[in-house]
Amino acid sequence: MTPDLPKQVQKTDLMLHDALSSGLKNPLLKDVYAAIRNRIAVIQNTRPFLADRIVSAMEERLAIIEALASGDPDLTGSLIESHYRQTMRWWGVEA
């Protein structure tokens, strides 16, 4: 853990969410995703950083990216939902 690691992780996280939203072809979904991304940014800047969450969150993201690359929408959706639930759990919010 280094002093600049939290900011690097947050920047990487928001960049990933930006990249995912840029691939959406549906304007309504893109707007919803942008709103969610903005909420994520606010939450990340108001809650304490959880260093223990870095590895598991990155593993979840890599699995999502692999599912996207494989073209499996059901697996991708399932992994996104699981990532969302784990993140909410880490933030102390039951989803």
At 34-91, the pLDDT tens digits run 888 788 778 777 776 677 788 898 899 899 889 989 999 999 999 989 998 998 888 7
Concatenate the DSSP letters of all residues of 8-31 into one string.
HHHHHHHHHHHHHHHT---HHHHH
Distance (Å) of CA 19 to CA 3, 32, 34, 82: 26, 14, 11, 19
Q: Where are the domains of the chain?
A: 1-49, 50-95
| pTM (2 d.p.) | 0.72
Give the pLDDT of residue 79.
94
Helix axes 54-70, 73-90, angle to 10 degrees: 170
d(CA 88, CA 86): 5
d(CA 89, CA 65): 22
